[in-house]
Structure 1
Amino acid sequence: MFGFRVLRKRWVLFLILFSSVIYFLVATLSKSNDLILEPFESKRNIRQTFQWQPKISDELEVNNTLTVKCRNSVQGRKLIVDERGYSCQRRHLDSNNCCDTKQPSTSRYNCQTCHTNGCCSVYEYCVSCCLQPDKQPLLEKILRDYNNEPFNKLFSLVLDHFELCLAKCRTSSQSVQHENSYRDPKSKYCYGESAPDLQSAIL
């Protein structure tokens, strides 16, 4: 009788221990799956909200509504490109931070200095050219393949066409060879999917 009680207690302890181990394993695996899926879900949600159309329509030109603010490239000392794809001289920015389209030197989707491989010698022209609607298929492919890029964290944060072009046209390790010189020193701003050619032909 005494031996039966001891045996029963051991079985109870064994069941408790076994249940604890199973619970621990399930909890650990579940947490691991969450850690794996969380970045994917986050990036997928970002992709679902990606905006290709400009946030500011061309009606701004007609209505001259200065209450609407444009985002622009900010950094250029002489040239600026706004989110509608207009490039202009800095002094031709309106008070709403948009390029003044009435100025003769202001142009839209300007690919001046850009090459067939999507690399340009002027950052603002790179962004302006990148904003052309016909560049969307190329940029969509870049976004689909961004997990294989060294800049996947950067691309996962962009929310629209303008932000993507600003990020893509900045110089990166793709523009560099041997870590100390540009593959094409004159055309180091690229919106395309491939690295700059060592020799490029201007459009």
Structure 2
Amino acid sequence: MWYAALVRILRRRIVLTIIFLLSLTYCLVNLWGNSGNSYKDIEEITYKREQPLIWREDPINNGTNGGKSKGCRNSVQGKTLLVDEEGYVCSRSNVLSNGCCDSNENVQYNCDTCTESEGCCAVYEKCVSCCLSPDKRPILEKAMELASGRQTALFATVRDQFELCLAKCRTDSHSVQHENQYKNPETKFCYAYIEAHESQRDN
């Protein structure tokens, strides 16, 4: 008898409505509470390097004749220019069979389209070349120290200064303002740390 009475009560619309509203409120409160913390939790993840980054002036890089005998890694994607891991920039048509630029015909650590004060360049390959100079290590260390979010994760995976320079010159969100305009369209490839535009800073 009591079972039938309980079923009748549960069938009433008002009871079902109350149960639905309570469930909906519970879901919304949990969803809203977790969404506020998820981004923060991602930001607080610490990315640790598994091996120390190899800098150009490290002994491991000396006495190898610049790696020319075994070949070079290079920036690959340039339409007209390439930069090799020794910091030489050359035209795509003049790359040697081992992937290196001819060191006798090209300038190493070419910064001729770069502004030293900003650490930004007009040409991607010259940004990488300039960035590879051993004297840029303090600037790069500062950039890595001040990096946040995705850049921190990216910098934790690079093995040496060449990979760091490829990544740093390719994408730097601090070289843009309002998320879709370059601060300086003439020198948009940057190896140095740039203060974020006010449109990108946390309020």
Q: Fold conserved (TM > 0.5)?
A: yes
- The CA distance in 2 between the partners of 1:128 and 1:49, in whole Å, is 22
| Corresponding residue SS for 1:134 | helix
- The CA distance in 2 between the partners of 1:49 and 1:73, in whole Å, is 22
User: Percentage identity across aligned positions?
Assistant: 48
Give, in angstroms, the shift of residue 155 of structure 1.
1.2
Give, in angstroms, the shift of residue 171 of structure 1.
3.3
CA contact (8 A) 2:88 2:101 kept: yes
| Corresponding residue SS for 2:114 | coil
Give the TM-score, by structure 1 length.
Answer: 0.66
Task: State the partner residue of 1:182.
Answer: 182
- The CA distance in 1 between the partners of 2:142 and 2:182, in whole Å, is 25
CA contact (8 A) 2:48 2:156 kept: no
Tell me, which stretches of 5 or more residues in structure 1 are unaligned? 1-35, 198-203
- Across the aligned residues of Structure 1 and Structure 2, the Cα RMSD in angstroms comes to 2.8
Task: State the partner residue of 1:110.
Answer: 110
- The CA distance in 2 between the partners of 1:188 and 1:195, in whole Å, is 14
| Corresponding residue SS for 1:44 | coil
CA contact (8 A) 1:56 1:84 kept: no
CA contact (8 A) 1:119 1:188 kept: yes
Task: State the partner residue of 1:13.
Answer: none
One-letter identity of the residue aligned with 2:82: I
Give the TM-score, by structure 2 length.
Answer: 0.66
Task: State the partner residue of 1:97.
Answer: 99
CA contact (8 A) 2:95 2:102 kept: yes
Give, in angstroms, the shift of residue 145 of structure 1.
2.7
Task: State the partner residue of 2:48.
Answer: 44
Change (3 A) 1:192 1:45: closer
- The CA distance in 2 between the partners of 1:196 and 1:94, in whole Å, is 39
CA contact (8 A) 1:182 1:188 kept: yes
Task: State the partner residue of 2:137.
Answer: 136
CA contact (8 A) 1:119 1:196 kept: no
Give, in angstroms, the shift of residue 157 of structure 1.
1.1
One-letter identity of the residue aligned with 1:74: V
One-letter identity of the residue aligned with 1:142: A
Give, in angstroms, the shift of residue 59 of structure 1.
4.7
Give, in angstroms, the shift of residue 177 of structure 1.
1.3
| Corresponding residue SS for 1:96 | coil
CA contact (8 A) 1:110 1:125 kept: yes
Number of paired residues?
152
One-letter identity of the residue aligned with 1:52: W
- The CA distance in 2 between the partners of 1:49 and 1:158, in whole Å, is 10
CA contact (8 A) 1:171 1:188 kept: no
- The CA distance in 2 between the partners of 1:64 and 1:131, in whole Å, is 16
One-letter identity of the residue aligned with 1:94: L
Which of 86, 89, 98 pairs up with 1:87? 89
Give, in angstroms, the shift of residue 56 of structure 1.
6.0
Give, in angstroms, the shift of residue 97 of structure 1.
0.0
Give, in angstroms, the shift of residue 176 of structure 1.
1.6
Tell me, which stretches of 5 or more residues in structure 2 are unaligned? 1-41, 198-203
